[in-house]
Amino acid sequence: MAPVAGPFLLWGLGVGYVISGDFYGWNAGLGATGYLGYLVALGFAAVLYAALVLAIAELSAALPHAGGPYAFCRLAMGRLCGYLCGVAVLLEYVVAPAAIATAIGAYVNVLVPSVPVLVSAAAVYVVCIAVHLMGAELSLSLELGLTTLALLMLTAFVVVAFPSITTERLLQVGSGEVFPKGAGGLWAALPSAAWFFLAIEGLPMAAEEARNARRDLPVALMASFATLAVAAICVLTVSAGLGGAAAVGSADAPLPTAVRIGLGQNHWLLGPLSLVGLAGLLASFQGIILSYSRLTFALSRAGYIPGFLSKLNGRKAPVWAIVVPGIASFSLASLCAALPGQAIPTLVSLSVFGAAVSYILTMAAAILLRRRRDLHRPFRAPGGSAAAWIALALSVVLLPAGLREHPVALVLGALVFGLFLLLYFTYGRARTAGVFAEEELGSAGRNEA
């Protein structure tokens, strides 16, 4: 794969992974706990992801590898743990686009009712996969453009709407109580608060597209987190204060709903906000395709899964690593369209489940590598292993919280892990036997400054 990305493109990718979370999905927890309780949940998520980003920044500078978390766990804990971490990340990154594509289809259906949700979702898969097949430079440039457009729209929303927010609407749920529904409300809000940051950890999987991964990945990770944290606070406060925590908390499209209630049905901001919301959704969709394809490529290159998945085309794009997970993801999107209602929340919970498992394994790897390996670390997380320990502890809390409302996600997740374990023991174990981690990850050093 060709190194084409500098720090600005990497920042665009890091923010783009997540920016859709500012336009939909985050608000489900608002009705459960109100604005003040949700601020606590958002603080939990911010601390979790700040610690996670610092630990991953250190690891990605030491091991710039397309496998990202898989590569870290492989070196720290061996073939099987590395593979399981890779499966967890793959689960997160194949499931999330299905939910995003369905949301895109729903947005389009509101704007053009004659276009079915599944038709729009299919078009998104075809177009975005085609862009990725044309090479990383084009896909990353498009990602940066979509991300910038979405951020400009969020800025316009905050600037225009902020003068109209009221304390009465902001504290509509709970009448000023921090936890109006007790600890259960806070617990229910944690997964949706994580949606403001979920998938930022995928940035290290672009390591082999980076011109200087050891220097630029840590900078891009921290800059992306700072951007997303500011956006989260602004979107939460302005949306709840403009439209009311109760109404916004139950809305399919929280930002347009807030504008309709607080500024009026015919306000000029409503149309652009709905249209540019699609750009935010597309940015996340586009970025996540890059990550799942690079992880699939890395697992195939190492021998865990069939070798054809690591074949590159003339533009250095991993063709089948882009296409095959895309087909699986679209199948899930088709299921969402056929089973409306709880399908998307269940997929979101399944994606959070995969993420939480990968966080636990990755942070364990970060702690073990600190103790056991004298790696060259161009960037060191402040406080040594403290960030990894904090992220590990909070991830353990996030894991059951994400499954509380949708336990079927646990069944589906267990089924996925079972199938991949069967693949490992019947196919991958023999092909990776006798290969040391340093040999398997040997290509990681080529981006060193």
Q: Which CATH number characterizes residue 174's domain? A: 1.20.1740.10
Dihedral over alpha carbons 272, 146, 358, 313 (to 10 degrees): 140
Q: pLDDT digits over 161-192, tens only?
A: 999 999 888 887 666 667 767 777 788 788 88
The residue range of the domain holding 341 is 7-439
Q: Which of 54-63, 327-336, 353-362 has the lowest mean pLDDT?
A: 327-336
| Residues found in the chain | 449
In this predicted structure, what is the pLDDT of residue 319?
A: 94
The answer to whether residue 445 sits within a structural domain is no
Instruction: Give the list of residues 6+ apart from residue 239 with CB closer than 8 angstroms, or none.
Output: 27, 248, 254, 255, 258
User: What is the pTM for the complete model shown?
Assistant: 0.88
Instruction: Give the list of residues 6+ apart from residue 413 with CB closer than 8 angstroms, or none.
Output: 91, 350, 353, 354, 357
The answer to whether residue 222 sits within a structural domain is yes
Q: What is the 3-state secondary structure (H, E, C) of 391-415?
A: HHHHHHHHHHHCCCCCCHHHHHHHH
**Alpha carbons 402 and 189: distance in angstroms, whole number:** 9
Q: pLDDT digits over 108-158, tens only?
A: 877 788 888 889 889 999 999 999 998 877 888 888 899 999 999 999 999
Angle between the N-to-C axes of helices 7-18 and 136-161, in degrees from 0 to 180, rounded to the nearest 10? 60
Contact present, 272 and 292 (Cβ < 8 Å): no
**Residue 136, CA distances (Å) to 9, 312, 388 in order:** 11, 12, 31
The answer to whether residue 316 sits within a structural domain is yes
Specify the number of domains making up the chain.
1
The answer to whether residue 349 sits within a structural domain is yes
Helix, strand and coil content of the chain, in percent to the nearest 5, comes to 80, 0, 20
The answer to whether residue 232 sits within a structural domain is yes
Question: Higher model confidence: residue 205 or residue 396?
Answer: 396
Main-chain dihedrals φ then ψ at residue 210, nearest 5 degrees: -80, 140
The answer to whether residue 444 sits within a structural domain is no
The answer to whether residue 12 sits within a structural domain is yes
The answer to whether residue 448 sits within a structural domain is no
Burial class (CB in 10 A: 0-12, 13-18, 19+), 421: middle
